């Protein structure tokens, strides 16, 4: 066998280097060839995905035609460890290089959760558990354990979260959303409490929050909230029981079947405002800012009663006799 000379070795290395250069040139060129996308495409990179898994997810979504070339490009650029989980959207043809920039810079769509005014904590937890983009760190925890994780010192976490829309990146913790909602509630409550009307029958902001939750559940008419709040504030001032159905319904919990019966109103319990004076021990829902402001700035007047007219509004009365006439006129069985 002929002995290889240095010239032969040099030619072999030259061919190898040339082949590598050509391969690299082809790879680089392919990274700047747009992938045809005829309509907006939404795709997800799952939490914990490495470069190879992310490339396969992009291929499955139809925004990448060659996962191995994409992976090679990312490794050459040192971007393999910078993949960010999230929901992404591509609305026009995009090059693999631009796609890599997108998923390593966090240029993703944010997911969101809307906490609805009047929700209970149980309803909020159900919404969190059902949201596919959240990491469900609170699942399996009791309400008390969730409160402890969030540093909530109130008797229960009920009412301790502000209704609003919260945005988060895919894979974010549900506890993080709760933490933000709780901080927002504290900020709004502190702000409203600092500008409250003088002479209100509340010893602290938490009592105002309890009342605001009742106001929230008692009416869907924004314009009537200050009047509803005035009725309950007036009742507290004179030692009259609140006598409001939503507190009783809350106390019944899962036993409430949609019909509030006379026996329910007569059965004593901590949330039965027909048998007990003063406020219930905790909020019964999450009040919105309007209910909170109405509670701390109730309408003027001496109204102690109200009854639904049947058109979405209420008739307010100062005396029981006047109220009974209104009940007879508008809603024989529905007055308060």
What percent of the chain has pLDDT above 90? 54
**Dihedral pair phi/psi, residue 211, rounded to 5°:** -65, -40
pLDDT-derived band at 225, boundaries 50, 70, 90:
very high
Which pLDDT does position 325 carry in this prediction? 93
pLDDT-derived band at 45, boundaries 50, 70, 90:
confident
Mean local confidence (pLDDT), 38-66: 82
* Long-range CB contacts for residues 71-74, cutoff 8 Å, separation at least 24: 72/27, 73/27, 73/28, 73/31, 73/97, 73/100, 74/100
Contact (CB, 8 A) for 302 and 230: no
pLDDT-derived band at 110, boundaries 50, 70, 90:
confident
What percent of the chain has pLDDT above 70? 88
Q: Which of 146-160, 233-247, 252-266, 287-301 has the lowest mean pLDDT?
A: 252-266
pLDDT at 334 over 50: no
* Residues present in the chain in total: 336
pLDDT at 335 over 50: no
pLDDT digits (tens, 9 = 90+) for 137-173: 999 999 999 999 999 999 999 999 999 999 887 778 9
Question: What is the 3-class SS of the chain, one letter each residue?
Answer: CCCCCHHHHHHHHHHHHHHHHHHHHHHHHHCCCCECCCCCEEEEECCCCCHHHHHHHHHHHCCCCCHHHHHHHHHHCCCCCCCCCEEEEECCCECHHHHHHHHHHCCCECEEEECCCCCCHHHHHHHHHHCCCCECCCCCCCHHHHHHHHCCCCCCCCCCCCCCEEEECCCCEHHHHHHHHHHHHHHHHHHHHHCCCCCCCCCCHHHHHHHHHHHHHHCCCHHHHHHHHHHHHHHHHHCCCCCCHHHHHHHHHHHCCCCCCHHHHHCCCCCCCCCCCCCCCCCCCCCCHHHHHHHHCCCCCCCCEEEECCCCCEEEECCHHHHHHHHHHHCCCCCC
pLDDT digits (tens, 9 = 90+) for 294-328: 999 999 999 999 998 888 788 999 999 999 999 99
Mean local confidence (pLDDT), 35-57: 81
Q: Which of 94-108, 198-212, 275-289 has the lowest mean pLDDT?
A: 94-108
Mean local confidence (pLDDT), 245-274: 94
Which pLDDT does position 66 carry in this prediction? 82
Mean pLDDT of the residues in the chain = 88
What is the Cα 278 distance to its own chain's centre? Answer: 31
Which pLDDT does position 151 carry in this prediction? 96
pLDDT at 8 over 70: no
Report the alpha-carbon angle 181-281-153, nearest 5.
45
Higher pLDDT, 40 or 159: 159
pLDDT at 109 over 90: no
Q: Which of 57-66, 128-137, 274-283 has the lowest mean pLDDT?
A: 57-66
Six-digit token pair at 171? 């894979």
Find all residues with CB under 8 Å of 80, minimum gap 6, and list them: 50, 51, 71, 74
Which pLDDT does position 218 carry in this prediction? 92
pLDDT at 126 over 50: yes
Distance CA 183, CA 194 (A): 17
**Tokens 């109730």 sit on residue:** 298
Higher pLDDT, 52 or 7: 52
Higher pLDDT, 334 or 298: 298
Q: Domain boundaries in the chain?
A: 68-109, 111-189, 203-330
| Alpha-carbon torsion angle 63, 66, 72, 75, nearest 10 | 20
């Amino acid at each position: 066998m002929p002995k290889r000379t240095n010239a032969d070795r040099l030619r072999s290395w030259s061919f190898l280097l040339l082949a590598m250069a050509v391969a690299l040139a082809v790879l680089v060129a392919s990274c700047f060839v747009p992938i045809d996308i005829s309509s907006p495409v939404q795709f997800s990179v799952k939490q914990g995905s490495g470069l190879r898994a992310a490339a396969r997810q992009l291929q499955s979504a139809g925004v990448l035609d060659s996962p191995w070339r994409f992976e090679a490009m990312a490794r050459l650029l040192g971007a393999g460890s910078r993949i960010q989980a999230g929901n992404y959207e591509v609305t026009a043809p995009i090059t693999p290089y631009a796609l890599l920039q997108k998923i390593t810079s966090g240029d993703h769509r944010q997911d969101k959760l809307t906490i609805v005014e009047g929700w209970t904590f149980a309803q909020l937890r159900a919404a969190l558990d059902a949201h596919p983009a959240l990491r469900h760190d609170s699942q399996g925890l009791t309400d008390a354990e969730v409160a402890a994780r969030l540093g909530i010192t109130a008797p229960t976490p009920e009412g301790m979260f502000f209704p609003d829309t919260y945005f988060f990146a895919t894979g974010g913790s549900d506890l993080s959303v709760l933490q933000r909602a709780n901080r927002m509630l504290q900020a709004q409550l502190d702000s409203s409490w600092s500008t409250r009307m003088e002479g209100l029958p509340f010893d602290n902001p938490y009592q105002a929050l309890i009342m605001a939750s009742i106001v929230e559940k008692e009416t869907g008419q924004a314009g009537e909230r200050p009047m509803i709040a005035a009725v309950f504030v007036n009742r507290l001032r004179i030692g009259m029981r609140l006598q409001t159905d939503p507190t009783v319904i809350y106390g019944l919990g899962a036993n409430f079947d949609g019909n509030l019966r006379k026996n329910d109103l007569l059965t004593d319990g901590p949330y039965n405002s027909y048998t007990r004076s003063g406020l219930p021990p905790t909020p019964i829902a999450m009040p919105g800012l309007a209910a909170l402001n109405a509670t701390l700035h109730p309408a003027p007047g001496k109204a102690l009663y109200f009854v639904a007219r049947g058109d979405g509004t209420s008739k307010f009365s100062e005396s029981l006799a006047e109220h009974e006439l209104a009940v007879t006129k508008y809603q024989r069985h529905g007055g308060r």
